[in-house]
């Protein structure tokens, strides 16, 4: 731990179990009703939900079977056993929950937040021996990198990865870096203006190995809440940035800074110059080279859905996450991180109407917590993030009761050499406080 931070905001724990939203009409998979361990048996796959059609890499972590006893417990018993285990562990454990987690999980979270806030929260509980991360794999890796060596970070279901994070791997990014070096010279060497040709910027949603790549090349990690601040800082030191893995966050952020689309070539890994008609001249002229990654949750939102919401509710306020495609962000009234969306809803006058373009579990919870507003998800189909959804209370009960018995299961450990480089890029991220 190298950065000292104030305590993150502790948000109210929702009590209502919200499933879907007022506008939800059907679900994207009948398997959503299945228990996650039936999906875990199928090997590397993202499971039902928005990423169900994405191909999980063979290297994606697999969750082994949890003891049968947990698979048979009903919801009320799981809730009681998780509560009892938490009480027994006391301050030795901190439970972090991302906004996209199920209500049954959020009910046990000490901190509920977006990925930036949770990275800070991981630093804030010095007394905790165990950090149980109810989120996805890259978030748990980040917590391990930022926490002390004697703190164990635990991911309740190892199969909770992220399909977007899996769209960039070290081999692909190193190949891109080598090709850009051929075109632009030594990418780490500042020119006479003091700027390097390219700085790598990675979205938080990537492996620790890629954060380490960014750290050793002088780059910064960003989240959806501080991407604009990070890009501004990058351009003080670099002529261009290579932004991965999310093309949409990169494009939306850069465009809001006034950068033209013609200066944002798209890079598809494994192709000469990243394909997409890229040439030496277009790469030389570029300002933001966008990796061809995307989020399958946010790719579902469309301009037609926004038009339909406006037709039905003329006074609607449309807010979308910046992982949505550019035309969706353009058609919305505003865009921002999950915490931006939460704050917008909390600060609106009673009687407001919101159409929200982000993960449906979070939208459903906001709707349940704010009966004074009309809140619905832009997408009428119930289709949660496949991997966030893999964190089921049975896994949380299993990891916590294992800790009570003195057994650490599902620990996420980043090798120290990799962690040291990743920490450089994460420390730069934590200094880039969102506006
Ligand atoms: P936030 O940084 O807004 O929490 O988003 C994380 C994420 O994975 C969104 O898809
Ligand atoms: Fe990954 Fe999208 Fe799920 Fe976020 S919502 S964890 S980016 S797949």
pLDDT digits (tens, 9 = 90+) for 203-254: 999 999 999 999 999 999 999 989 999 999 999 999 999 999 999 999 999 9
| Contact status, residue 21 vs residue 376, Cβ threshold 8 Å | yes
What is the pLDDT, as a whole number, of residue 354?
98
Average pLDDT, the chain: 92
pLDDT of 375 over the 80 cut: yes
Tokens of 312: 């039905």
- CA of 305 from ligand 2 middle (Å) equals 20
User: 192: pLDDT confidence band, cut at 50, 70 and 90?
Assistant: very high
Can you give the pTM of this predicted structure? 0.93
What is the pLDDT, as a whole number, of residue 39?
84
pLDDT of 425 over the 90 cut: yes
Q: How far is CA 108 from CA 261, 348, 360, 372, 393, in A?
A: 44, 27, 20, 25, 10
Rounded-to-integer distance, Cα 160 and Cα 47, Å: 10
Closest residue by Cα to residue 296 from 114, 28, 60, 39:
28
Average pLDDT over residues 117-140: 93
Going by CA atoms, what residue is nearest to atom 7 of ligand 2? Answer: 295
pLDDT of 43 over the 90 cut: no
Residues above pLDDT 90, as percent of the chain:
86
Percent composition of the chain: helix, strand, coil (DSSP 3-state, to 5)? 40, 15, 45
What is the pLDDT, as a whole number, of residue 6?
26
pLDDT of 377 over the 90 cut: yes
Average pLDDT over residues 259-267: 98
327-359 pLDDT per residue, tens: 999 999 999 999 999 999 999 999 999 999 999
| Contact status, residue 195 vs residue 237, Cβ threshold 8 Å | yes
pLDDT of 290 over the 90 cut: yes
Q: CB within 6 Å of ligand 2 — which residues?
A: 51, 136, 162-164, 205, 295-297, 359, 385, 387-388
pLDDT of 57 over the 90 cut: yes
What is the pLDDT, as a whole number, of residue 21?
41
pLDDT of 397 over the 80 cut: yes
- Higher per-residue pLDDT: 116 or 156: 156
- Using DSSP's 3-state secondary structure scheme, residue 206 falls into coil
What is the pLDDT, as a whole number, of residue 13?
30
Least confident of 109-123, 220-234, 400-414: 109-123
Closest residue by Cα to residue 280 from 200, 199, 180:
180
H helical segments located in 274-359: 280-284, 303-312, 326-331, 338-347
What is the pLDDT, as a whole number, of residue 2?
22
Pocket test for ligand 1, best of 54, 111, 338, 391 (most atoms within 8 A of CB): 338
Rounded-to-integer distance, Cα 174 and Cα 62, Å: 26
Rounded-to-integer distance, Cα 339 and Cα 116, Å: 9
Cα four-point dihedral sign 69, 75, 77, 81? positive
Going by CA atoms, what residue is nearest to atom 3 of ligand 2? Answer: 385
Going by CA atoms, what residue is nearest to atom 6 of ligand 2? Answer: 162
- Ligand nearest to the backbone CA of 296: 2
What is the pLDDT, as a whole number, of residue 24?
57
Q: Which atom of ligand 1 is nearest to the CA of 118?
A: 4
Per-residue DSSP letter, 34: S
Q: Which atom of ligand 2 is nearest to the CA of 205?
A: 7
- CA of 323 from ligand 1 middle (Å) equals 8
What is the pLDDT, as a whole number, of residue 123?
85
Rounded-to-integer distance, Cα 324 and Cα 313, Å: 21
- CA of 104 from ligand 2 middle (Å) equals 19
Q: CB within 6 Å of ligand 1 — which residues?
A: 114-115, 205, 223-224, 295, 323, 337-338
Q: Which domains does the chain have, with CATH numbers?
A: 30-162+387-418 (3.40.50.10800), 166-294 (3.40.50.10800), 298-382 (3.40.50.10800)
- Using DSSP's 3-state secondary structure scheme, residue 434 falls into coil
Peptide bond before residue 245 is cis, with ω within 30 degrees of 0: yes
- Using DSSP's 3-state secondary structure scheme, residue 198 falls into strand
Q: Which atom of ligand 1 is nearest to the CA of 99?
A: 4
Residues above pLDDT 70, as percent of the chain:
94
Residues 6+ away with beta carbon under 8 Å from 193: none
């Amino acid at each position: 731990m190298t950065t000292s931070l104030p305590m993150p905001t502790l948000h109210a724990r929702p009590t209502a179990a919200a499933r879907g939203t007022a506008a939800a009409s059907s679900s994207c998979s009948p398997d959503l009703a299945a228990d996650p361990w039936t999906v875990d048996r199928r090997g590397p796959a993202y499971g039902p939900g928005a990423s169900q059609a994405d191909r999980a890499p063979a290297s994606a972590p697999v969750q082994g079977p949890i003891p049968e006893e947990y698979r048979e417990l009903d919801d009320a018993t799981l809730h009681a056993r998780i509560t009892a285990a938490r009480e027994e562990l006391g301050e030795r454990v901190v439970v972090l929950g991302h906004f996209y987690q199920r209500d049954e999980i959020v009910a046990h979270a000490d901190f509920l937040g977006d990925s930036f806030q949770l990275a800070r929260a991981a630093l804030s509980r010095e007394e905790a021996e165990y950090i149980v991360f109810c989120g996805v794999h890259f978030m748990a890796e980040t917590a391990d990198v930022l926490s002390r060596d004697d703190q164990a970070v635990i991911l309740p279901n190892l199969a909770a990865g992220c399909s977007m994070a899996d769209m960039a791997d070290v081999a692909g990014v190193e190949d891109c870096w080598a090709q850009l070096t051929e075109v632009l010279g030594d990418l780490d060497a500042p020119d006479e203006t003091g700027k390097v040709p390219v700085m790598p910027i990675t979205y938080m949603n990537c492996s620790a190995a890629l954060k380490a790549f960014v750290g050793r090349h002088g780059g910064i990690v960003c989240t959806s809440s501080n991407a604009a601040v990070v890009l501004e800082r990058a351009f003080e030191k670099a002529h261009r940035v290579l932004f991965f893995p999310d093309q949409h966050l990169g494009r939306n952020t850069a465009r809001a800074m006034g950068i033209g689309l013609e200066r944002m070539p798209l890079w598809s890994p494994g192709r000469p110059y990243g394909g997409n008609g890229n040439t030496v001249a277009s790469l030389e002229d570029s300002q933001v080279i966008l990796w061809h990654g995307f989020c399958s949750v946010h790719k579902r939102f469309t301009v037609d859905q926004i038009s339909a919401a406006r037709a039905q509710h003329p006074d609607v306020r449309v807010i979308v996450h910046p992982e949505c495609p550019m035309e969706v962000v353009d058609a919305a009234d505003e865009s921002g991180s999950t915490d931006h969306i939460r704050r917008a809803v909390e600060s609106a006058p009673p009687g407001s109407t919101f159409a929200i373009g982000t993960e449906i579990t979070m939208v459903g919870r906001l709707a349940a917590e704010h009966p004074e507003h009309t809140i619905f998800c832009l997408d009428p189909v119930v289709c949660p993030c496949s991997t966030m959804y893999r964190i089921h209370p049975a896994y949380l009960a299993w990891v916590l009761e294992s800790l009570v018995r003195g057994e650490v299961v599902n620990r996420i450990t980043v090798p120290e050499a990799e962690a040291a480089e990743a920490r450089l890029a994460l420390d730069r991220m934590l200094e880039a406080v969102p506006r």
